[in-house]
Chains A and B, each alone.
Chain A
Amino acid sequence: MILEAHNLTFYYRNRKKNPIIDSFELTIPPGERVGLKGPSGRGKTTLCRLLAGYERPKQGQVLLDGKPVGEYRGACPVQMVWQHPETVVDPLLKLKETMAEAGGIDKRLVEKLHIEREWMERYPSELSGGELQRFCLARALRPETKILLCDEITAMLDLVTQAQIWEFLLEESRRREMGMLVVSHSEALLEKVCTRIITLD
């Protein structure tokens, strides 16, 4: 599936004069990994939210195979992995319930992401940030996912884990022909992982 953003413009309420994202164009074809960098506060996360359908653009549109992303019912083929994993899991539910809600977990992912079975019996506050982030990745990588948006997903991890996760994501992207948008401040990482790098400013 191809993800396209046409003339994308977004501003927060009462900030019409200086939109955070102004006439932005982007195309992510299957299998391409686009790197996105830019200083803090330039709307990288907002762009991800727009592309994943969390936010509705004020002008322009985000199309997935020609259909606006917001109109996909059921599980959306564009999934976003957030910067702070502890905010995206319900603190009152055990992880297995959160996982069941997202359609169960693939055995292969459990193995590749080094997720341990016993985590599923715990609450989110009983896992570390890195462990939770791997859980969130496994949740986002359901079979329907065609485009993955990674918003600074390894910023809080140690280098070994970072390397493991990116190696796995590279392999996954090649295997599934999955398009990716990788947001990071680390130029080295983007050059290593991405097929193309764009800058927001």
Chain B
Amino acid sequence: MKNMTQTETNQRRRTVFFLIVAVMILAAVTAAGILTEGCAVETDFSRRNLSPSLQHLFGTDWMGRDMLARTLSGLSLSIRIGILTAAVSAAAALLLGTASVVLGRKADAVISWCIDLVMGIPHILLVMLISLACGRGFTGVVAGVALSHWPSLARVIRGELIQLRQAPYILVAERMGVSKLQNVRRHMLPHLLPQFLTGLILLFPHAILHESSVTFLGFGLSSEQPAIGVILSESMQYLTTGKWWLALFPGLALVLVVALFALLGERVRRLLDPSSAHE
């Protein structure tokens, strides 16, 4: 009987349950944001500056736009930018990481130098510069965030692959007549997956935060788009007049989403990392 209760609440199951719930929440926010995009830009001057009530849970702003709808579509936009960024970064990191291992010592030196170079520039500065160069707006932000976040993941993958390439079991498999490609698929990718997945998920919070901060500073999305950064920078002007709900709820929602992603990455790591997989 005691065993039964133990298996029902073990760490692994709880973690899997948490993962499913977190992914569902994030998916729901993304979907809700897309659906409320029409509401979010709808202005109605008869309901300006209403504080939070049952009808408008997050209140309304000075143009009578519903803040809940704006927040949701802002978050949704952030998450979508995050996904795009993570995909681009992951692809770049995987490609460069593999190239620096496969192409030999010289190529590795060049790629490592590039990684160090990009890592050496503060992220936010790089995002601003690239975003400006690409003409701001959606493309600018995505390009900026995507092109500045790959180095950390690339470095992890490179290190992991260098270690794997010299692993005795891979060398032995090679002498047993296993082809290079099969070796990569059977022996390298499964070992790379935990690091890769965790790194990928942990890219999200960075991407989202940088997207909103660059927008907040005015180098990102244009002001008519319902982005979290836009909402926060506009509400700055109204904070002093006592309209606290304009910044509080969107800000809290952003923090929650970011924290959710960070927790997600941490839990996935614990689940996949051999040293903590049996906890």
* A residues whose Cβ falls under 8 Å from a Cβ of B: 52-54, 73-76, 79-80, 82, 84, 87-93, 101-103, 139, 142
Contacts and interface: CB of A to CB of B under 8 A. Distances in A.
Given A90-B187, A92-B190, A92-B191, A103 B168 contact: no
Contacts of B168: 82, 84, 87-88
Question: Which applies to chain B's interface (DSSP): helix, strand, loop or mixed?
Answer: helix
Contacts, number: 46
Nearest to B170: A90
A150 B103 CA distance: 33
B251 to A, nearest CB: 43
B168 to A, nearest CB: 4
Interface stretch (B6-14, B59-67, B173-181): B173-181
A89 B173 CA distance: 9
A53 B175 contact: yes
A163 to B, nearest CB: 26
> A-B pairs with the 3 shortest C-beta distances?
A75-B177, A74-B177, A87-B168
B191 A76 contact: no
22 contacts: A53-B175, A74-B177, A75-B175, A75-B176, A75-B177, A76-B175, A79-B175, A82-B168, A87-B167, A87-B168, A87-B169, A88-B168, A88-B172, A89-B169, A90-B169, A90-B170, A90-B173, A91-B169, A92-B190, A93-B186, A102-B176, A139-B176
A101 B175 contact: no
Given A52-B175, A88-B169, A90-B169, 14 more contacts: A74-B177, A76-B175, A79-B175, A82-B168, A87-B169, A88-B168, A90-B170, A90-B173, A91-B169, A92-B190, A92-B191, A93-B186, A101-B176, A102-B173
